[in-house]
Structure 1
């Protein structure tokens, strides 16, 4: 942790590990965003070694294959592949709050068949997109399927296939780095034809998908054994135990686990079967036997005469006015989000060059007519009155109107109750009290003041960020992979992200991590807010890199080492008449040190005492300036001197008051 990769990516936390390397959460310092970095781990081997070259080639292939599927809603996006100190690294999309399927089941237990089918349909969609481009994944397993919140924060709504590390294009002219004598894949999830030396095919990926779905509903793989050799032997020679919890999913799983690839179910039929589990086909409408009618069948009710030959109230079965669901356009690919459960992730727009399915490929599933609501949704239109239809009685109409008003009032009251009952939790809990997630740059006030308590006090926002002299400011956000990691590592992560600014500030500050609650984790996007708060008093306004150029310093506590200062009209000797300016422009002075008075003489001029302290602690020659042309000017903190803290900021300026040249 803390290493800088390729001069750009700071490693923040290890979030995963596998046979080929580690996955890190990293911060892209150039774009100021978080990414995932996959480190291809080597055993001790010299550069130029065949295995060394193989690992680099695999990293490039993974990036290239995943990049082909860039923009697909169920594939983790790969941004770049690079080499650092002789090792390959892959820069990928960081999926906040994601858990792989194995970890998901470890926390929650086996999946319901319909939920497992939803996951399978999404993974199949990603696989089919790759197969249509000749890319075989070769390592479909629970650890390579990520479940993450969608934009609404619904856990597990996004489903992503990751790790194309051993994927291959069999017909590609690229160099093949996998030796034929080595099995590539995960024991227990390999297709039998692959375990016996056959080529990678789309059917082999489907077998691995079947093992994964089996794991999803049973909590263990169909060929789990004590050793890899035993697992591979079972894949080739043994039939899997029948899944006991699969329900409607069982025929699909068993059809995927057929050992002969020629007899294995196709991707198209798999998609159709999974879609039927997620959205069952409606039953045909029940028809009444009109040959056996009750004696009152022909009577006229207060609502008018019945249709000829029809039973009273029979207006919704085979009437020509019956509701007919709209048919969706053909060509929907396997795993189209229109088929998924309500929580499924459905992107609204795709970036240029994104994967856009057009016509169904060999494994695509085109659903039958599919309405925009569940089967039977919506009432059929009222049929026209029969011949010579009577004027309806007014009393039932009035009763209907009253009932409609009461129903509307009830629905409104119910909606208010529902909104109150389901009001979003305070993201940081009742103790902190904020109703919205903190953002970078937010200034806060504490009650009690942060310097009076050890933990996180109750916080309120200070929108002005200076008028109320805030107690602290959010300097960074740490996006944690899970609530547990946020709670365990939030404080250390925030300390790491704020220590550089804290070390340059004149005022004593401390890092504070505001960690969301488990319930509020999704609402914050998994972000821990990293604050700097005053140790002995307020911070007086924006801090560090969040201060805009041209701002006037209201107190020396806002100044930090390395700042370049400009004059504001008025007495140049007093610190609150300086402004922050860019160092690549001419400036009045440059802050070189921060110190304190060793002794304070109440009867003497405080400015003279500040200057004398800077001449002692930060003379010009110490910072490579000529003492004949420059002097060390002491800027005192008027705000905290009254509290007995005699802080002094030392700025090197020219004796003749001329401007200092720009610094590149």
Structure 2
């Protein structure tokens, strides 16, 4: 059902929903547009509306082929909306969900495009703060690049900053998506351009491996890993590419490359990646899911099968199994919490096809092993018992044991 957005735009149909708002296919004076309509509770926040207007000039002035341009910002009654260019295609998360992981050449080409867009934004003084596959759009009508990749454009500039108002998130809160948060954000430092580089390197790792380097399990555990753990190497990629990823995932922001440097270096590596197939690795083991259990008589059946960590992280949002929701608000971990969890928690990738601990397949394999080992133990005990009986009975009867076992070999 169509609805008016301000005096110049009409929203026709919903394209997607996120925790910050809803994206509509719309129409404006110059043709089709995408309209991101923020949640009503955000639109009613007068402080946020003021910040929205202050950001108008910076966002409208951000123009680059790898950035989804913001055409207008609308404040009209209860409506707070960003009007953006319409990209005919899909987001990177959808492609990743479909293909699991990308060939290195295609992954590097996509990330190089995003790095170029970030370079333009950073030069204009704009930090994205929420770089992740959901915010990377693939233009299916654009020319194919290396590895058959479509042009990549970064969207949702300014949304994280708008929502991260001082009243909404004090020094004890973090705004962001756990899997992609730079360590300095977890430690409560203000976001600089380097947080986007860290997040983009995380995206590159995910495109290659099919999982993020520090994700998995409860969001608190994810935050701790960002601060305390070292990224686990990925087998099968050139060392030059791996060293680039490691540098951009450095804990110290000053050690990371700038966006323009990252884009240039990635394009230099593309020729050596031509024809390489996707990596053959499985996601590392994380905290296993709780075992399903029977409900007690006074307990609803549905509550007996709740996944650990499936709690709403955004005020007003429904519980979800994913911790990749946009603009998640989290408590800043205390220093003692960050200091305690690194030992023994490194997430090394499993061999392809290996079962995950805690999964049904892993339990079945474990049971089979126990049965095999138990059978072997019984057989061994029986053999030992028979041997002992023979030795005892032979001695008791006064008959010699098999002489060729007891006698030394003749010369």
1:66 aligns with 2:59: yes
Residues 1:100 and 1:62: Cα distance change in structure 2 (over 3 Å): farther
Please list, as runs of the form range in 1=range in 2, the aligned pairs for 1:422-501 lying within 5 A after superposition: none
Local SS of the residue matching 1:26? strand
Give the whole-Å Cα distance in 1 for the aligned partners of 2:144 and 2:32.
18
Give the whole-Å Cα distance in 2 for the aligned partners of 1:121 and 1:194.
24
Runs of 5+ in structure 1 lacking a partner?
Answer: 170-174, 282-339, 341-664
Give the whole-Å Cα distance in 2 for the aligned partners of 1:266 and 1:278.
19
1:249 corresponds in structure 2 to 241
Give the whole-Å Cα distance in 1 for the aligned partners of 2:49 and 2:212.
31
1:141 is matched with which residue: 114, 124, 132?
Answer: 132
Give the whole-Å Cα distance in 2 for the aligned partners of 1:261 and 1:184.
18
Give the whole-Å Cα distance in 1 for the aligned partners of 2:102 and 2:92.
10
Give the whole-Å Cα distance in 1 for the aligned partners of 2:67 and 2:217.
31
CA positional deviation for 1:257: 1.0
Runs of 5+ in structure 2 lacking a partner?
Answer: 275-411
Local SS of the residue matching 1:4? strand
Residue pair 1:40, 1:55 contacting (<8 A) in 2 also? no
2:39 is matched with which residue: 41, 58, 82?
Answer: 41
Deviates more, 1:151-160 or 1:202-211: 151-160
Local SS of the residue matching 1:94? coil
When the two structures are superposed, what TM-score results if normalisation uses the length of structure 1?
Answer: 0.37
CA positional deviation for 1:144: 0.8
1:165 aligns with 2:163: no
Residue pair 2:132, 2:180 contacting (<8 A) in 1 also? yes
Residues 1:200 and 1:40: Cα distance change in structure 2 (over 3 Å): same
Give the whole-Å Cα distance in 1 for the aligned partners of 2:21 and 2:133.
17
CA positional deviation for 1:230: 2.0
2:91 corresponds in structure 1 to 100
CA positional deviation for 1:228: 2.1
Give the whole-Å Cα distance in 2 for the aligned partners of 1:99 and 1:46.
27
Local SS of the residue matching 1:110? coil
Give the whole-Å Cα distance in 1 for the aligned partners of 2:43 and 2:115.
39
2:202 is matched with which residue: 202, 211, 221?
Answer: 211
Give the whole-Å Cα distance in 1 for the aligned partners of 2:114 and 2:271.
17
Larger C-alpha radius of gyration, 1 or 2?
1
1:85 aligns with 2:60: no
Give the whole-Å Cα distance in 2 for the aligned partners of 1:58 and 1:228.
28
Residue pair 1:140, 1:189 contacting (<8 A) in 2 also? yes
1:239 aligns with 2:237: no
Local SS of the residue matching 1:27? strand
Residues 1:249 and 1:164: Cα distance change in structure 2 (over 3 Å): same
2:219 corresponds in structure 1 to 228
Residues 1:152 and 1:238: Cα distance change in structure 2 (over 3 Å): closer
2:191 corresponds in structure 1 to 200
Give the whole-Å Cα distance in 2 for the aligned partners of 1:89 and 1:253.
35
Residue pair 2:209, 2:234 contacting (<8 A) in 1 also? yes
Local SS of the residue matching 1:253? helix
2:180 is matched with which residue: 186, 189, 194?
Answer: 189
Residue pair 1:2, 1:10 contacting (<8 A) in 2 also? yes
| CA-to-aligned-CA distance 1:545-594 (integer Å, 9 cap, x gap) | xxxxxxxxxxxxxxxxxxxxxxxxxxxxxxxxxxxxxxxxxxxxxxxxxx
Give the whole-Å Cα distance in 1 for the aligned partners of 2:98 and 2:184.
33
Give the whole-Å Cα distance in 2 for the aligned partners of 1:243 and 1:233.
21
RMSD: 3.0
Structure with the larger RCO, 1 or 2 (CA within 8 Å, 6+ apart): 2
| CA-to-aligned-CA distance 1:493-540 (integer Å, 9 cap, x gap) | xxxxxxxxxxxxxxxxxxxxxxxxxxxxxxxxxxxxxxxxxxxxxxxx
Residues 1:11 and 1:252: Cα distance change in structure 2 (over 3 Å): same
| CA-to-aligned-CA distance 1:244-289 (integer Å, 9 cap, x gap) | 45445322112211112233344454234212212459xxxxxxxx
1:378 corresponds in structure 2 to none
Residue pair 1:36, 1:92 contacting (<8 A) in 2 also? yes
Residue pair 2:160, 2:176 contacting (<8 A) in 1 also? no
1:618 corresponds in structure 2 to none
Greater share of helix residues, 1 or 2? 2
2:106 is matched with which residue: 96, 112, 115?
Answer: 115
CA positional deviation for 1:145: 0.8
Give the whole-Å Cα distance in 1 for the aligned partners of 2:112 and 2:249.
16
Residue pair 1:218, 1:245 contacting (<8 A) in 2 also? no
1:273 aligns with 2:265: yes
1:528 corresponds in structure 2 to none
Give the whole-Å Cα distance in 1 for the aligned partners of 2:155 and 2:43.
29
Please list, as runs of the form range in 1=range in 2, the aligned pairs for 1:244-643 lying within 5 A after superposition: 244=235, 246-247=237-238, 249-267=241-259, 269-279=261-271
CA positional deviation for 1:91: 0.9
1:11 aligns with 2:4: no
